[in-house]
Amino acid sequence: MNYNQLLGNHNQIVKLINKRVKVTTINNTTCDGFLQTIDPVSGTLVIISRSNDNENGSSTNLHFIMSHSINSFQVLDEKIEPKLKSKIDLLINPTVKLSDSEMKTRKQKLIDWFKLNRIPIENKENNELKVASMVILKPPYSKNDCVCSNDIVVRRIHDLMDRMPA
């Protein structure tokens, strides 16, 4: 598959996420692993691979491959095992386990903090908070749990969360 032609087709790129791929660079280095994401601007690939290290068992590696260095790109497997997918997701997005009382306390602190800073906040379904009419904040209410299509707004909400007293 020609990688440069693929970059022009956003729908095809999205379909490749979580597929097992093999990439060969112009230096004849190969990388075999699961495609985590593709940067839509630069075309850089992020691939997660596992290697067997005799001393430590197996290790997980994260590879960033710049688009200009890709010689060939091949999809090896269309499906990913659910167990492996959950391990990869946990590696990329580690979850924070909080008790119900800790979750309620954190949520209330955020509500109070946003109100103190005159930022509109609403309680939504599924314990979600809607901040500034644009950002959805999901449990466990960390910066990583903000969902918003506007990068500037979400960055300002992150900054405000960073300034919140402990």
**Dihedral sign (CA 155, 124, 108, 138):** negative
Residue type, 81: E
Take residue 117 and report the two structure tokens written for it.
């800073």
Q: What gap in Å lies between CA 63 and CA 61, rounded to an integer? A: 6
Question: pLDDT digits over 102-152, tens only?
Answer: 889 999 999 999 999 999 999 998 889 999 999 999 988 988 889 988 889
What is the spatial distance between Cα 40 and Cα 107, in angstroms, rounded to a whole number?
Answer: 34
Q: CA nearest 64: which of 23, 27, 93, 26?
A: 23
For 62-93, the pLDDT digits (tens) are 899 998 999 988 999 887 767 667 666 666 66
Residue 42 token pair: 């630069």
Distance CA 84, CA 9 (A): 27
